[in-house]
């Protein structure tokens, strides 16, 4: 179906403020259904989880619904969905848990393409255990993460391979299934950071080959909460540190403290929003998610092509990486301007973009760009329009003309 952009935009109250949001990678705007769901729970009688009274049952239902929604989004089982405040917090929980079982001589493999949230928790857990960290390198020109290197990086002592399903810096979508296959051949676990990939297309835990997949709802129209999913049998093997009286059931034992019931209702509503992106879609929620996200992906990819062509036509602009498979995310610099100055100039004109390293620390260190300010990031989400891309390109021209840096 043709993606109905007017209908989609109407679902985001914040878009009426008039800003142009190319900052979805840092957090998308919130869908109306999410706001309503959060408000409904805040207004309702809600108790701590208990089957004994109705408000307590409501909390139980909210949590169960959020687990089911995330399971539908990722192709997981609800009992395998661990909910938490952020992807970073969840990954630290897992790293501490797994790291407690590592020994000197064990190895973990991380990548320099990843957001630091899927690097540092593993590096620090390895250090604490005396385990060895091995690094997968990206190609500096293309921004690809060559799969072949994993044959050398992975060995008998590899316990874990952590890799991104989509770079939040330059969009690269690595061949995660192939990497996972190499890891599984030696019995290593695979932890996949899906924070940047999940908003941009259908996701399936099994097809990725991920043992653990992490996602953050605020990157796909929801509230600031995250989830970490795995086969429930996998969670059953692991024993995180926890309070003595808190539930030892799976997946609850990985969750710390009383959850935010209102925001969890927002997670469910965000998944329902994604499932409604294609109004003609039929079937269960997972089928409708596939249809809606496929339609949104086609829309985003057309905008990405438009943006890349526009940037390539501007000699003052340097775009980093040209990965064959990518999320709609582009890092660039304008000649003679610091990334922060470009961001500020665009920001003054109502365009919201990130600048810096966006925590893709190893990428920008390796590129030698970090100390001089990283880059500017334009990240496309399904509520963006072709007109917004044109306006961004025109504003870049205006900015560079004003500062006299445009080389034509
Ligand atoms: C690819 C990627 N991984 C992990 C994170 C961290 O997510 P959170 O803010 O939920 O900890 C981000 C946040 O920007 C990200 O883009």
User: Quick check: 351 and 22 in contact, CB under 8 A?
Assistant: yes
163 lines ligand 1 (CB under 6 A): no
Smallest CA separation from ligand 1 atom 15, residue? 195
Atom of ligand 1 nearest to the CA of 359: 14
User: DSSP 3-state assignment of 13?
Assistant: helix
Q: Whole-angstrom Cα distance, residue 320 to residue 143?
A: 7
Say how many Å lie between the CA of residue 88 and the centre of ligand 1: 7
Say how many Å lie between the CA of residue 134 and the centre of ligand 1: 22
- Measure the CA dihedral 293/296/298/299, to 10°: 180
Q: Whole-angstrom Cα distance, residue 41 to residue 180?
A: 40
Query: What string of pLDDT tens digits covers the 408 residues of the chain?
Result: 679 999 999 999 999 999 999 999 999 999 999 999 999 999 999 999 999 999 999 999 999 999 999 999 999 999 999 999 999 999 999 999 999 999 999 999 999 999 999 999 999 999 999 999 999 999 999 999 999 999 999 999 999 999 999 999 999 999 999 999 999 999 999 999 999 999 999 999 999 999 999 999 999 999 999 999 999 999 999 999 999 999 999 999 999 999 999 999 999 999 999 999 999 999 999 999 999 999 999 999 999 999 999 999 999 999 999 999 999 999 999 999 999 999 999 999 999 999 999 999 999 999 999 999 999 999 999 999 999 999 999 999 999 988 776 443
Looking at residue 406, its pLDDT comes to 46
Smallest CA separation from ligand 1 atom 12, residue? 195
Looking at residue 405, its pLDDT comes to 61
Of 324, 326, 328, the residue nearest 303 (C-alpha): 328
Mutate which of 85, 116, 117 for ligand 1? The one with the most ligand atoms within 8 Å of its CB, which is: 117
Looking at residue 403, its pLDDT comes to 78
Looking at residue 7, its pLDDT comes to 97
Smallest CA separation from ligand 1 atom 14, residue? 26
Of 290, 297, 335, the residue nearest 317 (C-alpha): 335
Atom of ligand 1 nearest to the CA of 26: 14
- Could you count the other beta carbons within 10 Å of the beta carbon of residue 387? 10
Residue 250 φ/ψ, nearest 5 degrees:
-95, 130
Atom of ligand 1 nearest to the CA of 193: 3
Of 285, 378, 278, 395, the residue nearest 329 (C-alpha): 378
Listed in sequence order, the residues at least 6 apart from 44 whose beta carbon sits closer than 8 Å to its beta carbon are 55, 58
Of 64, 128, 48, the residue nearest 96 (C-alpha): 128
Atom of ligand 1 nearest to the CA of 25: 16
195 lines ligand 1 (CB under 6 A): yes
354 lines ligand 1 (CB under 6 A): no
Residue 344 φ/ψ, nearest 5 degrees:
-65, -45
Q: Determine how β-strand 329-334 pairs with β-strand 132-136.
A: unpaired
169 lines ligand 1 (CB under 6 A): no
215 lines ligand 1 (CB under 6 A): no
Residue for token pair 């989880």? 49
DSSP state for residue 25 in the 8-state scheme: G
CA distances from 31 to 10, 28, 193, 203, 290 (A): 9, 9, 23, 20, 18
- Residue 53: burial class (beta carbons within 10 Å; 0-12, 13-18, 19+): exposed
Say how many Å lie between the CA of residue 213 and the centre of ligand 1: 12
- Residue 402: burial class (beta carbons within 10 Å; 0-12, 13-18, 19+): exposed
Q: Whole-angstrom Cα distance, residue 108 to residue 135?
A: 9
Atom of ligand 1 nearest to the CA of 224: 10
Mutate which of 23, 27, 83, 88 for ligand 1? The one with the most ligand atoms within 8 Å of its CB, which is: 88
Q: Can you give the length of the chain in residues?
A: 408
Q: Whole-angstrom Cα distance, residue 131 to residue 157?
A: 10
Q: Whole-angstrom Cα distance, residue 116 to residue 333?
A: 22
Say how many Å lie between the CA of residue 159 and the centre of ligand 1: 23
216 lines ligand 1 (CB under 6 A): yes
| Region of residue 283 (left: phi > 0; alpha: psi -120 to 50; beta: else) | left
């Amino acid at each position: 179906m043709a993606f109905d952009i007017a209908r989609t935009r109407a679902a985001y109250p914040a878009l009426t403020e008039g800003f142009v949001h190319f900052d979805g990678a840092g957090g998308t705007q919130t869908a109306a259904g999410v706001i309503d769901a959060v408000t409904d729970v805040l207004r309702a009688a809600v108790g701590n989880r208990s089957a004994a009274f109705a408000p307590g049952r409501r909390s139980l239902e909210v949590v169960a619904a959020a687990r089911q929604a995330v399971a539908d989004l990722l192709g997981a089982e609800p009992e395998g969905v661990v909910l938490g405040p952020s992807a970073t917090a969840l990954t630290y929980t897992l790293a501490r848990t797994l790291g407690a079982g590592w020994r000197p001589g064990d190895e973990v493999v991380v990548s320099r393409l990843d957001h630091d949230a899927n690097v540092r928790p593993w590096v620090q857990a390895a250090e604490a255990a005396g385990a060895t960290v091995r690094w997968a390198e990206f190609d500096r020109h293309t921004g690809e993460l060559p799969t072949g290197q994993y044959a050398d990086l992975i060995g008998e002592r590899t316990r874990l391979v952590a890799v991104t399903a989509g770079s939040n810096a330059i969009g690269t979508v690595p061949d995660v299934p192939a990497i996972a296959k190499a890891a599984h051949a030696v019995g290593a676990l695979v932890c996949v950071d899906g924070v940047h990939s999940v908003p941009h297309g259908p996701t399936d835990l099994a097809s990725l080959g991920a043992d653990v997949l992490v996602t953050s709802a605020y990157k796909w129209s929801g509230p600031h909460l995250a989830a970490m999913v795995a086969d429930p049998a996998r969670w059953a093997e692991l024993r995180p540190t926890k309070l003595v009286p808190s539930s030892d059931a799976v997946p609850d034992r990985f969750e710390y403290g009383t959850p935010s019931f209102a925001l969890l209702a927002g997670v469910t509503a965000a998944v329902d929003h994604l499932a409604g992106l294609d109004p003609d879609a039929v079937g269960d929620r997972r089928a409708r998610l596939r249809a809606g996200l496929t339609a949104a992906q086609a829309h985003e990819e057309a905008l990405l092509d438009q943006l890349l062509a526009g940037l390539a036509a501007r000699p003052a602009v340097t775009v980093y990486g040209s990965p064959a498979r990518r999320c709609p995310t582009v890092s660039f610099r304008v000649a003679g301007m610091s990334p922060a100055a470009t961001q500020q100039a665009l920001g003054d004109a109502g365009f919201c973009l990130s600048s810096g390293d966006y925590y893709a620390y190893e990428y920008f260190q390796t590129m030698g760009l970090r100390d001089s300010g990283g880059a500017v990031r334009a990240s496309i989400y399904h509520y963006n329009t072709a007109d917004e891309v044109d306006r961004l390109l025109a504003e870049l021209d205006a900015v560079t003309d004003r500062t006299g840096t445009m080389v034509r």
